[in-house]
Chains A and B, each alone.
Chain A
Amino acid sequence: MIELSKVTKSFNSTIKAVDNIDLKVNNGEIFGFLGPNGAGKTTTIKMMTGILAPDNGSILMDGLDITQDPLKAKKQFGFVPDSPNMFLRLKGFEYLNFMSDIYDVPSKERKEKIEMLSNRFEMTKALGDQIQSYSHGMRQKIIIMGVLIHNPSVWIMDEPMTGLDPRAAFTLKEMMREHADKGNTVFFSTHVLDVAEKICDRVAVINQGKLLFCGKLDEMKAHFKAQGESLEKIFLDMTEHE
């Protein structure tokens, strides 16, 4: 479970990148965080993961405060950043081993996990190569594998579908569903509505740092009383008028 209350962050003490946001993501749900480019999605995620400190408000991961008890809170989630260009000089399995050590995954378990994940993401033949030889999509996959290897209860993903081929995107969506169905939390940001429409239990829409809506997709449609129109149109309208 993720709980944000009254979270605010401003840069240069003038522009509020995130403005007094309240958000609760329950166990067992896939939650989509929507908004146009520069809306404040990544800033919110950076605060949730401890990369940025909020100016105000609190953020709880499974009940643990990310600023008060950072190390314990950080063990609760796995984070997929929006750019997968990390650790390019490490080999695939070296990266997975490094992540396993950081998250205390026992030897036997990590081996099984590496085998399972590399099969599912079709990465078995790439693990011995340096990550810099990977394509964008393969880099995205290895980062996702590094996150899933320690089996965190909360998944936080910043634009996770970008660069994935259709098959890998399908596998990831499948895994997100499985994870949520086991009573865990999946939180991801996207600016592609189709993705949100297909897999999210609930969504929130953010623009210019303010939360415009939070609820089920159907409710969103009803909320804006535009049943006849496409979700895309609602989304565009909503973020345009702000």
Chain B
Amino acid sequence: MNKKLLILTLALMKNGFSFPKEKSKKIKQILLFIVLAFSLLPMVFGLVTFLTNTYDGLATVGEEGVLLSLGIAVSAFVIFFFGLFYTMNTFYFSDDVENLLPLPIKSSHILGAKFIIVTIFEYLTASMIFLPILIVYGVKSGGGLLYYLYALLIFLALPVIPIVLDSVIVMIIMRFTNLAKNKDAFRVISAVIAIIFGVGVSTMSQRLVLNAGAGQTKLGNNSMVAVTSNIFPASKLGALGLINHRNLSGLVYTGLFIIVSLVGFYLFLLLGNKLYFKGVTGVSVSSSSKKQISSEELSRKSIRSSVMRSYVMKEIRILFRTPAYFINCILMNFIWPIFLIIPIFTQPNSMSGIGEMVAVMQKQGISGLVFVAFFGVMLFVSSSNGIAATSISREGENVFFNKYIPVSYNTQIMAKVIAGVIMGVVGMLSISLVAVILLKLPLSLMVLMCVTSFLAILFSNFVGIIIDLYNPKLHWDNEQKAVKQNLNLMLSMVICIAFGGLTAYAVIKLNLNLIQVVVSLIVFYGTLDCLLYLFIKKIGSKIFSKIEY
């Protein structure tokens, strides 16, 4: 690798993954990592068991290679999807470009370094899905050293093509929206377009696979590999490379896979040189209207409101107007309904499937399981927006403001919780709307679901703020680091998912009916919310007062 590119990549990396200097904070951070790793263990065990069973099942019909090709394809998709956010954040919303532009560095080096950073992030994503698949396949098929060597190479090359695609989509959109006057707003709109585009592409290709798969009846000898790999054409090469690792063809396929990735990276650099800088320059320049506000307008706008209301409005305004916050905290509430809708419109079969489901539900009565599923989804969605779990972190170096204003810490904490709850409820209502229309659920039931799920939203926000109070990430130099690279968000999500999972497990195990489910959810989470509220009220102020930048 070019020396300058390496230096730049390392510098940007250090900037991105900065560990706190103080020893106690460092220990806290490491402990947090360990807790997160342990909490993921049950999921890993589950996944490995599932993969082993799948391998055995596929092996009986001689199609075990599907595990690899599907694994590569699915991983490529997940990387592609998360990559949209990563590339947008790293390429456009981090301000370091403004500092790099005056330095004597080639533009391709800046682009290359940023690309590598996104790739490294994606290795984390890939290691959660792809690594277990590689290992299970390796162990089950008795792969030797060569298998693992190829596996490593393919693992390393895997994120390249999806990220090239992400970058191209993002760069083209940003190149043209940069012409706009209100940059923040247009950047947000571009992000939305890019995400819808991304979801669209993925579901379209899913449909392709389903159609192709329908025509394929002859099984055996890993012939399904070709079909599943339609999702991502290049992934076929990787799968074939691994399956045939004992033959020369394995080497050829693996080599081709790597060459395709390298060519992709080179094309990205060529295109980036043309598109990137025109889109990114002036990223921090914002326009002003310089229009005088009339006296009447001022009277209308300067109406007194309560401290709480004013504080909540301030939080929400900033969340909506800061592109990094909008994408990670606000959009997250609406992305799930989109996920629900698009496949239904792009896959004609799914509509009849839903019809059957609805018929079954109406025949047997809505089971407690459907109810608790909705509750669990809301718990997940409202924790994934991270509004509460990053609310102190988002203050950053300006956290001193919270300390000199004459507003009690409790009021400030609750205002932050309320901002998160409001957005959680908005997300819940949008999901409910989709559910009522598509699943034809009775409105009265939906209302009952929403009322109960409100407790889930409260719970996730209380959990989020408690975590962020104890260990806020205040040292960041651009906004995306406050929300994107914040372990507090991960931790609160893991806790909420665990609670959701345990709740569902209990409902299944105890075989509760609908009324029992509703009552127990309300009693359990109602009590839990009260306890968390009291906890925050009792010690929130004390912890907040100790937070120092």
- Give the contacting residue for B406; candidates A52, A103, A128; CB below 8 A: A103
Which of A97, A115, A127 has the largest number of chain B CB atoms within 10 A? A97
- Give the contacting residue for A102; candidates B293, B295, B310; CB below 8 A: B310
Q: Is the CB of B302 within 8 A of A111?
A: yes
**Binary A-proximity of B298-342 (CB < 8 A = 1, otherwise 0):** 110111111101110110011001100000000000000000000
Which B residue's beta carbon lies closest to that of A138?
B288
B407 close to A (CB within 8 Å)? yes
Which B residue's beta carbon lies closest to that of A124?
B292
Contacts of B305 in A (CB 8 A): 101
Indicate whether A125 sits within 8 Å of B304 (C-beta atoms), given known contacts A51-B404, A97-B310.
no
Q: Is the CB of A90 within 8 A of B317?
A: yes
- Give the contacting residue for A71; candidates B291, B302, B313, B406; CB below 8 A: B406
- Give the contacting residue for B307; candidates A102, A107, A114; CB below 8 A: A102
Count B-side interface residues using an 8 Å CB cutoff: 40
Contacts of B404 in A (CB 8 A): 49-51, 74, 79
B2 close to A (CB within 8 Å)? no
A86 close to B (CB within 8 Å)? yes
Q: Is the CB of B548 within 8 A of A129?
A: no
Q: Is the CB of A81 within 8 A of B302?
A: no
For chain B residues 387-401, which have a beta carbon within 8 Å of chain A? 397-398, 400-401
Contacts of A85 in B (CB 8 A): 398
Contacts of A110 in B (CB 8 A): 302, 304
Contacts of A79 in B (CB 8 A): 404
For chain A residues 65-80, which have a beta carbon within 8 Å of chain B? 70-72, 74-75, 79
Contacts of A164 in B (CB 8 A): none
A120 close to B (CB within 8 Å)? no
- Give the contacting residue for B400; candidates A51, A71, A107; CB below 8 A: A51
Distance, CA A39 to CA B313, complexed state (A): 39
Q: Is the CB of A98 within 8 A of B314?
A: yes
A100 close to B (CB within 8 Å)? yes
B349 close to A (CB within 8 Å)? no
Q: Is the CB of A98 within 8 A of B310?
A: yes
Indicate whether A102 sits within 8 Å of B407 (C-beta atoms), given known contacts A53-B545, A89-B322.
yes
Which A residue's beta carbon lies closest to that of B323?
A89
**Binary B-proximity of A106-126 (CB < 8 A = 1, otherwise 0):** 110011001100000000111
Q: Is the CB of A100 within 8 A of B302?
A: yes
Indicate whether A133 sits within 8 Å of B287 (C-beta atoms), given known contacts A74-B406, A79-B404.
yes
Q: Is the CB of B291 within 8 A of A128?
A: yes
Q: Is the CB of B292 within 8 A of A89?
A: no
- Give the contacting residue for A94; candidates B289, B291, B304, B317; CB below 8 A: B317
Nearest CB on B from A141, distance (A): 14
A46 close to B (CB within 8 Å)? yes
Contacts of A101 in B (CB 8 A): 304-307, 309-311
Distance, CA A46 to CA B548, complexed state (A): 11
Q: Is the CB of B302 within 8 A of A129?
A: no
B510 close to A (CB within 8 Å)? no
For chain B residues 138-188, which have a beta carbon within 8 Å of chain A? 184
Nearest CB on A from B178, distance (A): 16
Q: Is the CB of B318 within 8 A of A90?
A: yes
**Binary B-proximity of A41-70 (CB < 8 A = 1, otherwise 0):** 000001001111100000000000000001
B364 close to A (CB within 8 Å)? no
Contacts of B397 in A (CB 8 A): 83
Distance, CA A110 to CA B303, complexed state (A): 9
Distance, CA A87 to CA B404, complexed state (A): 15
A21 close to B (CB within 8 Å)? no
B363 close to A (CB within 8 Å)? no
Nearest CB on A from B312, distance (A): 11
Which B residue's beta carbon lies closest to that of A106?
B304
Indicate whether A102 sits within 8 Å of B298 (C-beta atoms), given known contacts A124-B292, A125-B290, A130-B321.
no
Indicate whether A129 sits within 8 Å of B306 (C-beta atoms), given known contacts A89-B317, A102-B405.
no
Nearest CB on A from B176, distance (A): 22
Q: Is the CB of B293 within 8 A of A127?
A: yes
Nearest CB on A from B285, distance (A): 9
Q: Is the CB of B298 within 8 A of A115?
A: yes
Q: Is the CB of B291 within 8 A of A125?
A: yes
Distance, CA A87 to CA B397, complexed state (A): 12
A188 close to B (CB within 8 Å)? no
Distance, CA A198 to CA B42, complexed state (A): 70
Distance, CA A94 to CA B297, complexed state (A): 13
Q: Is the CB of A52 within 8 A of B286?
A: no
Distance, CA A81 to CA B403, complexed state (A): 12
List residues of chain A with CB under 8 Å of any chain B CB: 46, 49-53, 70-72, 74-75, 79, 81, 83, 85-87, 89-90, 93-94, 96-98, 100-107, 110-111, 114-115, 124-130, 132-134
Top 4 closest A-B pairs, CB basis?
A: A101-B310, A74-B406, A133-B288, A129-B288
Supply 29 A–B pairs (Cβ within 8 Å), ascending by A.
Answer: A46-B400, A50-B404, A53-B545, A70-B406, A72-B406, A81-B401, A83-B397, A89-B317, A90-B317, A93-B293, A93-B301, A93-B302, A97-B310, A101-B304, A101-B307, A101-B311, A106-B304, A107-B299, A107-B304, A110-B304, A111-B302, A114-B298, A114-B302, A128-B291, A130-B321, A133-B286, A133-B287, A133-B288, A134-B288
